[in-house]
Amino acid sequence: MALNPACQTFIPMLSPYVDGELTPQERVTVDHHLNVCRDCTGRVADLRAESGLIRHGLDLAADEVDFRDFAQKVMARLTPYKPPLMERVRISLSEMFLYQRATMVTSLVTAAVVLFVAVPTAVLWKGTPEGYARPQMMVSSVTVEKGAKVTPVVMTTDQGDAIIWMVSTEQASSQDGAQPSQEKAPDQDTGEVKKLDQTKPNGGEL
């Protein structure tokens, strides 16, 4: 088939025309030619069909391959870079923030809660006497009003501790000999009093 002489100039331009690689001016010139040349219009259609055919053909061929292990196989063949120790630590930390950001943030928040809430709570809880609020009181001395008649009242708790009240029943008008014995009453009374002395003060005791 004899080639139209006008087409000879345009044929080499058709491939870049299809690829969108012509200058706007060249493109306009080719467009004008295509409007009047049936052969070149057919050539353009051929180029487009061929382009799609190759792309689609190779795409189908790639579809047949299972790429699931591909990256793993490549990675297994690599010799990892070994940066200096400090650099590795820095990289590990930045990687942790990069790839496990959610986990890292959750862990840090949990750590902060434990540090600032749970630990002080536990410490305070341990230091507070059962059933009593702070501040803790310590008995420094026990005195009996001069001339008073004192009777000890002992209350024993389920844990074996004792609470003792010294009840002044009446103001002695006369100086009877009860006072010394009353003052010693806690000691003479029960062993529980001694036990109380040995244990840590529970607060609220006399």
Please report how close the Cβ of residue 53 comes to other proteins at its closest, in angstroms.
5
Distance of CA 206 to the CA centre of its chain: 49
Cα angle value 146/149/155 (rounded, 5°):
115
For residue 137, state whether it binds other proteins (rule: CB under 8 A).
no
Task: Answer yes or no: are the C-beta atoms of 203 and 192 closer than 8 Å.
Answer: no
- Which x/- pattern over 77-116 shows residues binding other proteins (rule: CB under 8 A)? xxxxxxx---xx--x---x---x-----------------
What is the rounded end-to-end Cα distance, in angstroms, of the chain? 126
Residue pointed to by tokens 């139209």: 4
Give the Cα separation of 203 and 136 in Å (integer).
Answer: 6
Q: Pick the closer one to other proteins by CB: 77 or 146.
A: 77
Q: Pick the closer one to other proteins by CB: 58 or 139.
A: 58
For residue 62, state whether it binds other proteins (rule: CB under 8 A).
yes
For residue 9, state whether it binds other proteins (rule: CB under 8 A).
no
For residue 31, state whether it binds other proteins (rule: CB under 8 A).
no
Please report how close the Cβ of residue 119 comes to other proteins at its closest, in angstroms.
36
For residue 6, state whether it binds other proteins (rule: CB under 8 A).
no
DSSP per-residue codes, 105-154? HHHHHHHHHIIIIIHHHHHHHHHSPTT-PSSP---------TTEEEEEEE
For residue 184, state whether it binds other proteins (rule: CB under 8 A).
no
Residues binding other proteins (CB under 8 A): 1, 3, 12, 15-16, 19, 21, 39, 41-62, 64-65, 67, 70-71, 73-75, 77-83, 87-88, 91, 95, 99
